[in-house]
Amino acid sequence: MTAQVTFDFGDKVALVTGSTSGIGRATAVAFGRAGASVVVTGRREKEGAETAALVEAAGGKAFFQTADVTQPADMEALAAAALDRFGALHYAINNAGEGAYVMLEKLAAESWELEIARNLGSTFHGMKHQIPAIRKSGGGAIVNMASAAAVIGLVGMSAYCAAKAGVVAISRAAASEAVGDNIRVNSILIGAIMTNAWSGSTPEELAALSAASPMRRFGTVDEVANAALWLCSDGASFVTGHCLAVEGGYTTLQNQQYRRLDD
């Protein structure tokens, strides 16, 4: 079980994209537990309403607004909604994204464009409107969800790898531009995190994925949420332009033997 980490975001406002389930939902609820007001968003209204209710049950305030992150107008509307509903925006977690398994030579141009739009384009269009809103609110932080795929070439996921590498790069560029406005921008490399995305996997496939991790297990959504909230917190007040690996050592220890020298 993931240890519960305590943060204090009372009187702060957070926006979490893709918060109808998984990592996004866990992050939204964690903000609520810390006393924040949260803009919950995604394409699924029922699940979005459920997340908003969970945020409020945890002690925060929340409302759900439907949005498709591939649509620039929707991303602009989300930042405006935070200002209209809560009067400020301090933190943005650009979490929404998705990858498809298709070998590069069989990847249609339309599929490539969709992968880039929902993973990298959404981050660009989000920050384009989030940064002015956060500046107007006196400063804050943005966390963009990347992936281990940003630094490791994964078979059948060329578009996803390219998009997530772009997320890391645009986060660093945005950090350099926003630092003078008291806005920090960081990204997170996530690894194999246990979410519904793996629901179609066989027990053998799940065991193989666990075995590929130096920690021999999947990560939890709460572990990623804890990292995202830390990057937004005063505890990370001197951290910007950083890419934090929350992947059990997968990208940094994968070539090691994971054994004690005296075994």
Choosing from 91, 101, 160, 250, the catalytic residue is: 160
pLDDT at 262 over 70: no
Residue 201: the pLDDT is: 67
Q: Is the per-residue pLDDT at 263 higher than 50?
A: no
Domain boundaries 13-246, corresponding CATH code: 3.40.50.720
Reported confidence tier of residue 218, pLDDT bands at 50, 70, 90: confident
160 as an active site residue: the answer is yes
Query: What pLDDT is recorded for position 224?
Result: 93
Domain spans of the chain, in order of start? 13-246
**3-class DSSP string for the chain:** CCCCCCCCCCCCEEEECCCCCHHHHHHHHHHHHCCCEEEEEECCHHHHHHHHHHHHHHCCEEEEEECCCCCHHHHHHHHHHHHHHHCCCCEEEECCCCCCCCCHHHCCHHHHHHHHHHHHHHHHHHHHHHHHHHHHCCCEEEEEEEEHHHCCCCCCCHHHHHHHHHHHHHHHHHHHHHHHHCEEEEEEEECCECCHHHCCCCHHHHHHHHHCCCCCCCECHHHHHHHHHHHHCHHHCCCCCCEEEECCCCCCCCCCCCCCCCC
Global pTM value? 0.91
Mean pLDDT across the stretch 4-30? 93
Give the pLDDT mean for 46-67: 97
pLDDT, average across residues 210-228: 84
| pLDDT surpassing 60 at residue 258 | no
Which is more confidently placed, 240 or 1? 240
Mean pLDDT lowest among 56-65, 94-103, 166-175, 179-188 = 94-103
Average pLDDT over residues 229-241: 98
| pLDDT level of residue 3 (50, 70, 90 thresholds) | low
Q: Is the pLDDT of residue 254 over 60?
A: no
144-163 pLDDT, tens digit each: 999 888 888 888 889 999 99
Mean pLDDT of 51-78: 97
Residue percentage of the chain with pLDDT more than 90: 71
